[in-house]
Structures are given as structure tokens and as C-alpha cells.
Amino acid sequence: MLKALFFDFGGTLADIESDARAHIEMFKEVVRRFSLDVDPKELSGKYDRLQIESYLNSDGKRYKRFIDRACEVFEIIMKDYGVELCMEDMKWFRKVYVEKHMECIELYPEVKFTLNRIRRIFDGHIGIISDADDWYISALVERFNIADIFDSITTSDEAKYNKPHPRIFKLAFEKAGCQPEESMYIGDNYKRDILGAKSIGMKAVLILRPTRITEVESMDIPDYIIENLTELIPIIENEQRS
């Protein structure tokens, strides 16, 4: 019997393209502050590549907060342009990082409808399991007025390990009072979300949005594959009947 549903956040609930827009807006501010003769999109592109590389290299390893990783990448990029940063510059960048993400991040269009519908038809535990920082998830669920939908939020910031490490999933089970086989995870990343969930005994739903390119080693591993979160509603209804 299905007792708990857990959602990934970025790329599953939050539009990944809005994250890219936040980065461009960040680097518009950087260009202005440091009087750089460079396109903010070029800086943002470098930032995204270095961030992704750092994130992928952290699979299952001890956690480093996204904002700390962002500051490290920012410092590397600025050195490439001959800019030596002081502590005041780093404090300023942290502030801009927070402001632009809070301004720019958006949910996918169907998310609120789907979450509210699921909350009405599903009596079990609904949570978030995300590699994002605690402050980031907490602030955004409040901003989007969806905090009441979730019974728990579990982050790598709290677990001190990134997905697919089992620690973050086990921490979520403790909060929900359920076993892995009684839960389902919905995510957009094959390795971190789907393999991570399946390796610990959860059912897994892979969301493959048509606008994104996602590497999938085997289409047989996820229990379900969807293109839009609304497709999750009949899946949950069927799971509850089985």
C-alpha cells in the first residue's frame, strides 16, 4: 500500500529554465559592479558549466551547499577575467544570488493544480527530497504558497549527503514513518532520482519533459515514465486501489 509520495524539486516542480534566467540576471549585476566588457550570458554559460561539473562530481558524496559552490565558481570565473575578489565582494555576490533566485525561479505551469489535486485524493504523507539548500526550498515553497501541501522537506543540506546516497532517502522515511516499499519518488534525474530511489526499494516515477534532454540508461528501471505532472494523478489513484 502506498503511504508516502516524495517529490524532487528542481526540474520536477521548479522550472529548470527559470534557474538559468536567475543566473543571467545575477551576471548582469556582476558586469555592472565590476565594469566588465563581456556579455552576461557568456558569464552565465561558464557559470552553469562549472556548476554542473561540480554538482555531477558530488554524486553520493558529502554535501556542499549550492550557495557555497556558487561562490567558489564565481571566484574562479572572476579570476579568469583578472578580477581579485575581497570579502565584501563575496558577501555582495551571496546577496545577489539569493535575490535573483527568489525573483526568477518559477514552477512548471501544471504543478500547483497537480499538487492540490493529489493532496485531495491521497491521504498519505507528501514530502520533498532535494539536493537544494534548506533556505532555498523553504523560501520557495512559501513564496509559491504550496508549503501546506507538504508534510516534510528533506534536503541534502540536512542529510549532509547528495542523492543518490541512501542517507537522504532514509531520513525522509523516518519523517514519514514509512518503509521504502510503501513510498514513491518522482524526479527528473535518472541517476540521482530514479536509481537512488530504486536502489533503496522505492517505486520511482521519471518525468521526461519534452523540452529537456535527459540521459536515460534503461527505460525499464522506472516504474512509470511521464511527460507532465498531471499524468501522475491517475497513477496515484491506481496505486491506491492496488
Question: What pLDDT shows up at residue 30?
Answer: 97
Locate 86 and state its grid cell.
Answer: 575581497
Regions in the chain scoring below 70 on pLDDT: 56, 58-62, 211-219
Taking only the tens place, the pLDDT of each residue in 164-187 is: 999 999 999 999 999 999 999 999
Taking only the tens place, the pLDDT of each residue in 32-62 is: 999 999 999 999 999 999 988 877 676 655 6
Superfamily of domain 4-15+106-241: HAD superfamily/HAD-like (3.40.50.1000)
Domain edges within the chain: 4-15+106-241, 16-104
Can you tell me the distance from the alpha carbon of 174 to that of 153, in angstroms, rounded to the nearest whole number?
12
Question: What pLDDT shows up at residue 62?
Answer: 64
Q: Looking at the domain that runs over 16-104, which CATH code has it been given? A: 1.10.150.240
pTM: 0.92
Can you tell me the distance from the alpha carbon of 113 to that of 100, in angstroms, rounded to the nearest whole number?
25
List, as own/partner pairs, every contact residues 159-163 make where C-beta atoms lie below 8 angstroms and the sequence separation is at least 24, other chains included.
159/63, 160/62, 160/63, 161/60, 161/61, 161/62, 161/63, 162/58, 162/59, 162/60, 162/61, 162/63, 162/131, 162/192, 163/60, 163/129, 163/131, 163/189, 163/192, 163/193, 163/196
